[in-house]
Amino acid sequence: MKNHLKKSITLFLAAASLGLVLTGCNPATKPTDKASGTTWTETIDGKKIDMKVSAPPKRAVTMSFAPTEMLLTIGAEKQMAGTSFKEEELYEPIAEAYKRVPVLAEKWPSYEKFMSVKPDFVIGWEVDFSKRAIPAEKIISAGVPIFIPDSMQDTNATLETNFNDMLELGKIFGLEDNARKWVDSQKKKLGTIQDKIKDIPHVRVFVFDSEDDAPFTVFEGYTTNVLKLIGADNVMAGQGVDKTWAKTSWESFVQANPDYVIIVDYTASDRTDDDFANKVERLKNNPQLSSVTAIKENHFLRVRLAEITPGVRTVDALERLVKEIHPDMK
């Protein structure tokens, strides 16, 4: 695990007098012990700023749903003042805990609503601290430390990056045992899955998110890296595209000839077929794609976005995908 958190937010900031200290470009230092708090570093407008909590947060706010699930998974619901932006159906393991935390907004809360709960910590994706939501400089000026998980910023993030984020959150919230137990359980489950498929040939997959004349898909990063763990090789990886998600062409899709298409299902209700079925129909009815193995063999797999992006659902999703790709596996 990293000794210190290194993050990057490109935002303008006039450093405020709130216990956030400008530093040079020194290597990250080790988080301090519980007695003196925990520190981590954000890079803002090219300058490193040390964030710190002197004690475990008691009024944390989450700005999007994956971070909400991360905190609830380590048992931090009593230390949360509010959640926002519920993008997915409730994940069963944390469903009851979620009901005990106030919801501040259907999407992003206003700055006034955010401050009304007297937050002492905030976590989210980078976009959650942009002008689209609440700019980072306003939050920092109010003395609230920001935490953006490395797995949500690092374009080369892996499942291990995600696990390290959970362990760091465990440190920050004084819930290290809970975080460690969860990480260990996920590693054990993944190990069991990998043992079962170690002698099975890899399959080639294409992740289909959406289309606007051209398909939007995954190239590099977390999604590609976690799929590799179950022998599902992304056909768009290794093409010199230095992006995680981006458009490709139908010609590239045909040339890649995947064995399976993994379809991101955005249907609002739990696991209904609308979005998934519509995408399958469009792919099957596209004459350009008739020669593709996945299309010919009706090999379509459904996932929710939260299952293949950083958060707590990845290993469960990998287990399900393995069963669907290899239905005869015991």
Listed in order, the ranges of the chain carrying CATH 3.40.50.1980 are 6-183, 200-325
How many alpha carbons fall within 13 Å on the CB side of residue 32?
Answer: 15
What letters, b where the CB count within 10 A reaches 16 and e where it falls short, cover 51-62? Answer: bbbeebbeebbb
Query: Cα–Cα distance between 82 and 101 in angstroms, integer?
Result: 6
Whole-structure pTM value = 0.86
Q: Kindly state the tokens that stand for 210.
A: 């959406």
In the block, tokens 């890296």 appear at 225
CB 140 within 8 A of CB 9: no
Domain covering 6-183, topology: Rossmann fold (3.40.50)
Neighbours of 295 (CB within 10 A): 22
Superfamily of domain 200-325: Nitrogenase molybdenum iron protein domain (3.40.50.1980)
- Strand-pair category, 215-218 with 210-211: antiparallel
Residue 301, classed as helix, strand or coil, is strand
Query: What pLDDT score was predicted for residue 11?
Result: 38
The parts of the chain modelled with pLDDT lower than 50 are 1-35, 270-271
CA-closest candidate to residue 20, choices 46, 59, 47, 55 = 47
